[in-house]
Each structure stands twice: as C-alpha cells, then as structure tokens.
Amino acid sequence: MRKNWYRLDTAALIFPATARRDWCNVFRVSATLTEPVDEVTLQQAVNDLRPRFPSYYVALRKGIFWYYLEETSSPVRVTRDYAYPLTFMSSRELRRCCMRVLYYRSRIAVEFFHSLTDGRGGSVYLANLLARYLTLRHGLKVPVGGLIRDLNEAPPAEELEDSFLSNAAPVASPRSEERSYRLRGTREKDGFRHLTTGIVPTAALLDLAHRYGVSVTALLAAVMAESIIAMQDARCPRRHQRPVKITIPVDLRRLYGSRTLRNFSLVLNIGADPRLGDWSLDELCRTIYHQLRASATPRHMAGMIAANTQPQELIALRLTPVFLKNLVMDAVYRRSGESGGSLNISNITNLDLPAALLPYITRCEFIIGPQRSYPNNCSVLSCGGTTCINMIRSIRESELERRFFSRLVELGVPVDIESNRR
C-alpha cells in the first residue's frame, strides 16, 4: 500500500532536532464528559476521523536531508491514561505514531508531538473527536461549521499547507534577545509531571481583565510576571537580576486568515525588567498588553516568520545531512529558542463547541509540557463559561503555582484547585 507523506512545516522542523532521551515537545487537549468514556466507541470515533485528518495519523521518519511525516499503517490505539499527562514520547514511539488518544474515567485526551500541529489545530481535532464520539454514543446530529468538519469530504489542501511559506516577509527580523530569568527547583528523577489545574469562571476573569483595560492573556501574563519577579527578588539582589519574560504563542491564523491545521503560530517574549525598579500589577498589565498589541501584527510577525523560512531556502543548508542540521538547529534553539523566556503562557482562548455538544461536556483543558531548560509552563483554555488554567512542572516545588493562584484569589477571582499530586 502506498503511504502518503508530508514535509514538516517550518515551525515543526525544530522539534525533532531538539528532542532528547528524556524530553520532547508534546502538548495535550482534553475534554471531561458528564459520563464515563466507552473505550470501544472512542476507538471507533478515532478510526472514523482518519480520512478527514490524515496529517495527524502519521509517524516521524528520517530522510537523508530532512525529517518527514509518513502515514501510519496501523490504527491509532486508544489507551488508558497514566499518572501524569504528557508522558515522554520516545523516538521509537514517534516512529510508530506522533499522536496518542487516552481516556480515564470521563476524560478523553489527545496528545500531539508538536511537529504535527499546534494548540489550535489540536483543539479542532478534539472538537471533531468529541462530535464523532457523542454522535456514535447518543445519536447526536452535530451541524458542520465552525470547528466541526464534514467527515465525508476530503481534507482541503489549505488545511495541509505550510502557511509560513506564503506569509514570510522579504526581510527577516533579528532573533537575538537578552536571556531571561530562569526558574529552578528539584527535578523529579522519574520524569513525573505535576499538574495543577485552576478552574475559574471565565466571566470573573474577563471582568478583572476589563478592570485593568487589558486582554485575559495579558492579565495572566502580568500576574505570572509579578509572581516570578517576587520569586527572583527572594533569591537574588536587584542588580544581578534578569528580565522576566513570558513566552506567549500567537495564533497566526487570525492574522493571515489561514485555515491550516499544521503548525502556524509563533512566540513572543514579553515582560519587564526588574532592574528598572518596582513594577505594580497595573504597570505590568499595561506594558505586557501594549507590547503584545504592538508585536502581534501581520507585518511584525511576517518578519519573524522570514527569520525561520529564509535559512530553509539556502541550497547549501538544504543539502546538509539531517544529523548535521540537527546539531545546528539544536544550537540555535539553545541560543534563541528558549533562552528569551522564563515561562510559557499558551492561551488558545475559547473552544467554541457546537451547542449540541455542551450538555455532555463538563470542561475542556489544554496542557503544554515543561520546556527543555525550564521547569514550569502554563496553558489556558476556556469552554462553556469555565476557564482551565493548567500549570505543569517537572520539579517538586510548587511556589510559583501558590503565588500565581493566590494572587488571582486576592484580585477577586474564585479559583478551584485540582492536582495530580502523588
């Protein structure tokens, strides 16, 4: 049987090159239902989605010059969840399939190796999986439109395109940024990931953001920056401190009107320098909001896209064997990939599920794993009036989570906490 294959998109190239024996970039989208998950029906739903979303049912392969994705020959097996999310995807597993579908009690979770897609693409798959599962289980009729795709039609080419290539500027923006403050702690030796979920009413969060005159993303980034600045203050005298920057992914589909389901987002490192003096929350909110507004524009992002696409156009680089490319990309990633941020806040905003699905769904979550060189990350997803703020860490200490969530409570946002502590 002839298997389809796909080139990695521009953003996806970095993830195989930077994967390690105990780390690779994986993220999860999940939904908690009002009833226990039926494994057989879920497996059926996963199989049914395959023809419509072929670019997710793939394995990572290594060519001479580039990695590529090849359609898997075997079905994606639904498996039971583990004690923590985002367990390590080994290279052996990636050679079998780059996506996992997991269930536990009433939760359905899908984990993606980041080379397949980004958070928005993953949430489209989850929405369609939920629609198919609930259709099979309860005979729902979920209208096509919005996030929901027609499973009988072939995937359009625009969903499989690398939108970076068509939106790059002629001139690239410079990459270099000052290194930011790094959080540290006692690493869990067995790779355990501590997950702390803060469940908040979306309306309360929006009210607070409006009070400060900023977006929810800017507000959460400001509260996070304030918490990290306080932690740095406790550890290091002011003159030796580093800037505190929050890495915020920007969904480029909205800026360029793309419909791709591959990766199409870039990150901005935004924050404040504590060496310049004390920052109030109001000041942090404003500086982060305005930096975000000024940077997340089509022109500015096109320059950043070009910084990633231009090296790919060099013939000499294209003809370099993949193992040498890995060394170069790994060095670039160390220097400019992670060094500019203290922590990620990835907010894929509202998951706009069809009304027919909402009675069956309690909440939806989005979880990104810790980065290679820093231990904490945060991800946010709203659905049905509830926002889940997931903070994951690969270290034992929970000081950042305590500061962040208790600050939200101080600001008048009610926070329900759940965790997978052992």
Partner 1 sequence: MYCVRCGVRLQDGTEFCPLCQTPVWNPGADRPEPGFPESLPPRHRESTLPGAIAMTVVSVLALAVTVIVCLHLYGALRWGGYVLGGILLFDIVAVLPLWFEEPRGEVFVPVDFLAAGLYVLYICRATHGHWFLSFAFPVILAAGLLTTAMVCLLKYVRGGRIFIFGGFLVLLGGFAVLVEFFEHLSFGTRMFTWSQYPLAGFGIVGLFLLIAGTIPPLREEIRRRFFF
Residues found near partner 1 in the complex (CB under 8 A): 21, 80-85, 87-88, 90-93, 104-105, 107, 179, 182, 190, 192, 195-198, 236-237, 240, 373, 398, 401-402, 405-406, 409-410, 414-421
User: Shortest approach of partner 1 to residue 120 CB, angstroms?
Assistant: 25
Query: In the complex with partner 1, which residue's Cβ is closer, 195 or 395?
Result: 195
Q: How far is the CB of 404 from partner 1 (least distance, A)?
A: 9
Whose Cβ is closer to partner 1: residue 224's or residue 250's? 224
Nearer residue to partner 1 within complex by CB, 21 or 299: 21
- Closest separation between CB of residue 313 and partner 1, Å? 31
- Residue 407 CB, shortest distance to partner 1, in Å, is 10
Q: Go through 21-40 and write b for each residue having 16 or more CB atoms within 10 A of its CB, e for each that does not.
A: eebbbbbbbbbbbeeebeee
* Residue 178: CB minimum distance to partner 1, A: 12
Provide the minimum distance between the beta carbon of 385 and partner 1 in the complex, in angstroms, as a whole number. Answer: 17
> Of 297 and 373, which CB lies nearer to partner 1 in the complex structure?
373
Q: Which is nearer to partner 1, 17 or 250 (CB)?
A: 17
In the complex with partner 1, which residue's Cβ is closer, 39 or 416?
416
**Closest distance to partner 1 from the beta carbon of 60 (Å):** 14
Closer residue to partner 1 (CB): 53 or 405: 405
User: 44 vs 420, which CB is nearer to partner 1?
Assistant: 420
Minimum CB distance to partner 1, residue 240 (Å): 4
